[in-house]
Amino acid sequence: MSLTVIIGNLSYLLVACSFMVRDILWLRGLSIMASCCGIFYSSTVSDTPLWTPIVWSCVFISLNIYHISRLILENRGIEFNEKEQELYQTVFSSLSPLEFKKLNDIAEWKQVPEGSVLVEQGQKMTDLFLIYNGTTDVVVDGKKVAQLRDGQYIGEMSFLTEGDATASVVAYYPTEYLQWNQEGLKALMSRNPSLLFSLQSTMGKQLSKAVAEKNSQSAA
């Protein structure tokens, strides 16, 4: 297999890889590399360069370089405190620093003592919570059914379905958490689709884990 054919295939492989990454900088970087490979292939695959794909590849490279430069400039100067940095690295690493800053800016950081009721079963949910540090009990009809810990959401089902709370949530230990107003959060996500993807992904994993644990308990 010739070098030209190898690089031509590599171009398509890089495009496929770009579809599998969530970080926008990686996506655009892989796209640039794919376009460069495409230019090499179009220049050498025949006696006469294929100018149409070469020109369009140059256009795509220029656009990606512009957006990468813009992202880097936007993220410069953004600083997080120790708690925010830990949360970003452990829960929201798929977001850019600017996206996480937007998410953090509309959140309220709160602390509650042991025994505090964060959510009551059957109540209309207007907020979404994320535990930063602590442990909470999930109680259904007066019976404890699960515990939630650091990095887990409270009220994610109601957020996704817009239904009432299906369980009460009580702080088992002193707990620190973030609280978002649902309407404000949805408005932010409508302007930033990557936020929507990231939150739905992490919530989906938590819900899937909860269902799996519930099924294993039922089987036992």
Structural domains of the chain, count: 2
pLDDT at 161: 82
Residue 98 sits in the same domain as residue 154: yes
Verify that 199 and 155 share a domain, yes or no: yes
Q: What percent of the chain has pLDDT over 70?
A: 91
In this predicted model, what pLDDT tens digit does every residue of 157-203 receive, in sequence order? 888 888 889 899 999 999 999 999 999 988 988 887 777 777 777 77
Owning domain of residue 124: 82-219
Q: Are 108 and 185 in contact (CB under 8 A)?
A: no
Same domain, 181 and 127: yes
Residues 94 and 170 in one domain: yes
Q: Are residues 136 and 198 in the same domain?
A: yes
> Do 98 and 196 have their domain in common?
yes
Question: What CATH number should be reported for the domain holding residue 176?
Answer: 2.60.120.10
Contacts of 21-24 with C-beta under 8 Å, sequence gap 24+, read 22/94, 22/194, 22/197, 22/198, 23/94, 23/96, 24/71, 24/96, 24/194
pLDDT band at 50 (very low <50, low <70, confident <90, very high): very high
**39 & 142 share domain:** no
Task: Point out the domain boundary residue: 60, 75, 90.
Answer: 75
The three-class DSSP label of residue 166 is coil
Q: Which residues contact 115 (CB under 8 A, 6 or more apart)?
A: 170, 171
Q: Are residues 108 and 15 in the same domain?
A: no
Rounded mean pLDDT of 129-136? 94
Please check whether residues 51 and 111 belong to one and the same domain: no
Pick the last residue of a domain from 48, 75, 102: 75
90-122 per-position pLDDT tens digit: 888 777 788 888 889 999 999 999 999 999 999
Q: Residue 207's pLDDT is what? A: 67
pLDDT band at 52 (very low <50, low <70, confident <90, very high): very high
Residues 91 and 198 placed together within one structural domain of the fold: yes
What is the percentage of the chain residues whose pLDDT exceeds 90? 46
